[in-house]
Amino acid sequence: MKSSIEGFEEIIKASLGEIEVETLLENGKVIDVLTGTIRREDVAIHRGIIVGFGAYDAREVIDLGGNLLAPGFIDGHLHIESSMVTPPEYARAVLPLGTTTVVCDPHEIANVMGKEGIRYILDTSSHIPLNVYVMLPSCVPATRMETSGALLTAQDLLEFRDEDRVLGLAELMNYPGLISRDPEVLEKISSFSDMIIDGHSPLLSGKELSAYAIFADSDHECTTPEEAQEKLSKGMYIMIREGTGAKNLDALIKIVTTKNSRRFFFVSDDRNPLDLLGEGHINQMVKRAIEAGIDPVVAIQMATLNAAEYFRLRGLGAIAPGFRADMVVLDLLDDFKVTMTIKDGVVAAKDGKVLVEIPVHRDDRGRGTIHIRGEGLLERLKMEGSGTARIIKVVEDQIVTEEIKEEVDLDAGIPVERDILEIAVCERHKGSGNLGLGLVKGFGIKEGAIASSVSHDSHNIVAVGTSERDICDAILGVERIGGGQIVVRDGKVMAALELPIAGLITDQPLEKVKEKLIRLKRAVEDLGCRLKDPFMTLSFMALPVIPQLKITDKGLFDVTRFEFVDLFV
Amino acid sequence: MKSSIEGFEEIIKASLGEIEVETLLENGKVIDVLTGTIRREDVAIHRGIIVGFGAYDAREVIDLGGNLLAPGFIDGHLHIESSMVTPPEYARAVLPLGTTTVVCDPHEIANVMGKEGIRYILDTSSHIPLNVYVMLPSCVPATRMETSGALLTAQDLLEFRDEDRVLGLAELMNYPGLISRDPEVLEKISSFSDMIIDGHSPLLSGKELSAYAIFADSDHECTTPEEAQEKLSKGMYIMIREGTGAKNLDALIKIVTTKNSRRFFFVSDDRNPLDLLGEGHINQMVKRAIEAGIDPVVAIQMATLNAAEYFRLRGLGAIAPGFRADMVVLDLLDDFKVTMTIKDGVVAAKDGKVLVEIPVHRDDRGRGTIHIRGEGLLERLKMEGSGTARIIKVVEDQIVTEEIKEEVDLDAGIPVERDILEIAVCERHKGSGNLGLGLVKGFGIKEGAIASSVSHDSHNIVAVGTSERDICDAILGVERIGGGQIVVRDGKVMAALELPIAGLITDQPLEKVKEKLIRLKRAVEDLGCRLKDPFMTLSFMALPVIPQLKITDKGLFDVTRFEFVDLFV
């Protein structure tokens, strides 16, 4: 426990019962992740710290009505940006779900704002009732095939090394760079070799995985039991991910045993606002794990102690003297539903409602990050020529795409009737005028256009539409709202979600975002689109590390051949 | 993994199989503490690091003949001084037993030499094939009722905080000081609150234990399952101790389950040379735990990974890429006997024999620590008076004593015929002339005297004998050999073990110590003593924190009343 000597004295007195403690949680059943048991126990809290068990004189007594009391849940890897809200608003969303600690990787905002983006997340999360730890983005920019807003060198990252809430290096996506001994990658690893290094190595195996596992302490990209088992045996902690796009719990939970469960914990990675408000967060993963046959105490260990141990977060992850009083009450009779969240000894949420003040300080950083070259945009969006074209084929619910080839005559216009649409990626960090143009099939849009400044990983503006006029309107519309997602038709904005912070985050509450997302979805449907999540699909069109055919502000990119290609064969 | 970037490059190449690895361990069955399984696996090693599994071109191939391969064993808490040998000699003794890492508390030598004692242990253990980590002695002197050779303040300890192999604060014995908010104790805790703080709180429970557990991360003093269960639930790791004096495995192993086993690990605390060479070390505890019904993989986790996690020793405690190549081979057919120890990738011991050079650098620190006031010693040892005397009663095999009262007439001589002997504690750090005199019953010595400079915790010279003449000879004998243990009769030394380093440690090998200890034991038996371990019994006579009646250089001490008392009632 960290404190001043005076603080120690008071805590000791409270623990001994020499003074009244602040709070006593009575009549609860503690899920004890340390002994691996559940037992009837009263819990005394003072100054935000658990100070003892049993009978205490307390200023406030809270009756838990025989319900279960567990440590607060920990999300071991996520990008807060994916929730589209600020850290305080994120806290407001997840506190009622029992989450009291998150370890985030500000990868998205760092791709736009660089060091200032990391600083923004640290600052805006410093005084909220949610423990927000930061892993430093290891791969900004994600690739050299696109224009990002920033570049982070090992030297840049070192500036954050000694921050209290910085734990290490976030997902080391550049495993090919490590395996090929890229000096930049080695320098980053060397700079953080005594801290935690999160891995990210989908499908890597054999000797290449061995080489990678020497440095990477974990992985959150496992999709099969075999992949997880190999990574586990090679020393990596397995983060079981249930994101909006990628759901791995069902596959991975099969290999969890009481003899290896300590090496597993839960993460959400990317969870969009609708999912957070719908399915939930780590609470849902606990429930799912128990349904899959995991012992409830073990499931709670995976949601608490295991992540705390991996990240060496002393004082988090268990209910015992000296631990932070971050706890959740679970309804025994209602499927482990979270009914109360206690944060630093205070009831922060009850029955789905946040009961504490969450300070939001007006912070103007991140505003005005949209810089496009508007002159002649309409002209530059014009596509010409005819022949056999390489077309990006959308794969529903997947971030991969296919490449198909079809005959097109662009001089006669975009062949919307064959569901072939224009796709454009407009560089928006430096106003360079970079503009990548291509064709895409599968959106089903019959009129108008959509555009978004959320576009992994460099977050340029990506737009899909039926004509250069509509696309131009959509891109300029995104610029006008200072970043965000938009649906346009006939020169009119049909729906929009403003994301004025880095073009990724709103300053509105999550419920507001939800409303606007629903309106956006309906507006896209009105254009004829039948995709389940068109803006998510859109946001991965510009990610040139996921096969097959992608597009960046620098042009069409064939991921398998790993080179830029022309539109016409 | 810590290394230079050049080092990284070579390790990656080796791991990928692009260059020949140094060593391949073939045909072994890996006890995988990470997956909780045992599997057939070849293990590749390069530059002392495990770099991969499977087929590799290797400079050297070692066939394990189908035997088990486990991570090297870790002893989580011990005083190397109790083995009476230097760290290099200690390594020579435990390597064949499979121990590759120890976490030691130089409490004994620090009581004699202060900071220089800690430095001595750090320096002499820095280049040996055994990982020696140090926890800083938190309670020097152990009490104010005796004269120690040194005093260590929080400030003194802080000087060692940033040493590579220093992990935190060793056993915080002064739990009464913590509970009463002694400012010195709080300052020490505050100085190390972000590091590991080992506990030591025999029988502490309830609210006092809660207050203590807020700060102490572990305990090695549990003697009953109930005590261990309460400490476990209060957040303390349980160190299961099998020392020479205190053996707790049988009692504690009962509460270990696969859901809580990660919070247990093995320690030896104090193991004398005869036990190390006889019963063994952590290897014996593994065997005992398995015999007690613990799953072999879980037993190995307790001997390896669990301690590594508690002490946050990355790269230790498992067999996986990036981990140090510290491993043991266990004979499947012969009761898990250790047949080979691999340290940093090299076969360090095989079939009980050490195969590597263990560098011993001549180090003169610690010599000449015996300073007594010799003048008039014989006169000052003379006891006089008659009446009802308080007599220390030895309890066989225990470090507690009883107080009995008997009529004595010392003017007529020591009543040796009733087995009442003189006991003296002679201050030996500062030559102050402090001399505590008392009577003791239970040694059974009929002629001569014995003396020792190993005398917990201040290590003054303690002697028991049949006359002041014999006691004087014994004390001066210990001085003459520069510290050690001695048996005298009729002015002649019958047997002696020289401990010239701090009066605690010899520069001889463990086998030599064993020989001399056996000779000492026989010599004491020749004097009539029937105690199982007379020098151990002797060494606890001056420890004024263990009940009932003890004696220090300042006089007779009643531990229950916690005050000095007169000989005669």
Say whether residue B161 is in contact with chain A using an 8 A CB cutoff. no
| Strand ranges for A33-176 from DSSP E | 37-46, 49-53, 58-63, 68-71, 73-78, 99-104, 131-136, 166-172
Say whether residue A40 is in contact with chain B using an 8 A CB cutoff. no
Q: What is the maximum alpha-carbon separation in chain B?
A: 87
- The partner residues of B22 in beta bridges, in order of sequence, read none
| pLDDT at site A363 | 85
Containing H/E element for A210? helix A206-213
| pLDDT at site A142 | 87
Contacts of residue B318 in chain A, CB cutoff 8 Å? Answer: 235
Containing H/E element for A160? none
| Closest-approach residue (CA) in chain B for A296 | B259
- The partner residues of A74 in beta bridges, in order of sequence, read A101
Alpha-helical regions (H) of B76-205: 87-94, 107-113, 115-124, 154-158, 175-179, 183-191
**Confidence grade of residue A335 (pLDDT, cut at 50, 70, 90):** confident
- Beta-carbon separation of A12 and B214 below 8 A: yes
- The partner residues of A168 in beta bridges, in order of sequence, read A135, A196
| pLDDT at site A307 | 98
- Beta-carbon separation of B207 and A2 below 8 A: no
Alpha-helical regions (H) of A411-499: 468-480
Say whether residue A4 is in contact with chain B using an 8 A CB cutoff. yes
- Given a contact cutoff of 8 angstroms between Cβ atoms, the answer to whether A198 and A216 are in contact is yes
pLDDT digits (tens, 9 = 90+) for A298-332: 999 999 999 999 999 999 999 999 999 999 999 98
Assigned token pair, A367: 């505003």
| Closest-approach residue (CA) in chain A for B197 | A1
Three-state secondary-structure class, residue A343: strand
Q: What is the DSSP letter of B458?
A: T
Q: Please choose, from the candidates B497, B457, B505, the residue with its C-alpha nearest in 3D space to the C-alpha of residue B481.
A: B497
Q: What is the pLDDT along chain B (569 residues), one digit of tens a residue?
A: 545 778 999 999 999 999 999 999 999 999 999 999 999 999 999 999 999 999 999 999 999 999 999 999 999 999 999 999 999 999 999 999 999 999 999 999 999 999 999 999 999 999 999 999 999 999 999 888 999 999 999 999 999 999 999 999 999 999 999 999 999 999 999 999 999 999 999 999 999 999 999 999 999 999 999 999 999 999 999 999 999 888 899 999 999 999 999 999 999 999 988 899 999 999 999 999 999 999 999 999 999 999 999 999 999 999 999 999 999 999 987 788 999 999 999 999 999 999 999 988 788 899 999 999 999 999 999 999 999 999 999 998 788 899 999 999 999 999 999 999 999 999 999 999 999 999 999 999 999 999 999 999 999 999 999 999 999 999 999 999 999 999 999 999 999 999 999 999 999 988 899 999 999 999 999 999 999 999 999 999 999 988 899 999 999 999 988 899 999 99
- The partner residues of A389 in beta bridges, in order of sequence, read A406, A568
A63 has a pLDDT exceeding 90: yes
Report the residue from A16, A53, A54 with minimal CB separation from B179: A16
Tell me the nearest-neighbour CA distance from B10 into chain A, angstroms: 9
- Given a contact cutoff of 8 angstroms between Cβ atoms, the answer to whether B101 and B75 are in contact is yes
| Closest-approach residue (CA) in chain B for A194 | B2
- Specify the pTM: 0.95
- Given a contact cutoff of 8 angstroms between Cβ atoms, the answer to whether B541 and B442 are in contact is no
A400 has a pLDDT exceeding 90: no
Q: What is the dihedral of CA A511, A516, A519, A524, to 10 degrees?
A: -130
Q: What is the 3-state secondary structure (H, E, C) of B376-426?
A: CHHHHHCCCCEEEEEEEEECCCCCCEEEEEEEEEHHHCCCHHHCEEEEEEE
| Distance (Å) of CA B514 to CA A232, B80, B87, B349, B518 | 45, 15, 16, 20, 6
d(CA A243, CA A77): 10
d(CA A239, CA A253): 11
Strand A264-267 and strand B237-241: the pairing is unpaired
A56 has a pLDDT exceeding 90: yes
Of A47 and B546, the one with more pLDDT: A47
Mean pLDDT of the A345-369 span: 93
| DSSP assignment string, B220-268 | S---SHHHHHHHHHTT-EEEEEB-SS-B-HHHHGGG--TTTGGGEEEE-
Say whether residue A388 is in contact with chain B using an 8 A CB cutoff. no
| DSSP assignment string, A484-501 | EEEEEETTEEEEEEE-TB
Report the residue from B1, B17, B207 with minimal CB separation from A16: B207
pLDDT digits (tens, 9 = 90+) for A166-212: 999 999 999 999 999 999 999 999 999 999 999 999 999 999 999 99
Mean pLDDT of the A150-169 span: 97
Assigned token pair, B29: 């069955």
- Beta-carbon separation of B321 and A210 below 8 A: yes
Say whether residue A32 is in contact with chain B using an 8 A CB cutoff. yes
| Closest-approach residue (CA) in chain A for B11 | A211
| pLDDT at site A3 | 58
C-beta atoms surrounding B250 within 10 Å: 13
d(CA B262, CA B470): 53
Assigned token pair, B35: 């997956």
Three-state secondary-structure class, residue B55: coil
Q: Of chain B residues 81-110, which have a CB less than 8 A from chain A?
A: none
A219 has a pLDDT exceeding 80: yes
- Given a contact cutoff of 8 angstroms between Cβ atoms, the answer to whether A542 and A456 are in contact is yes
**Confidence grade of residue A359 (pLDDT, cut at 50, 70, 90):** confident
ipTM passes above 0.85: yes
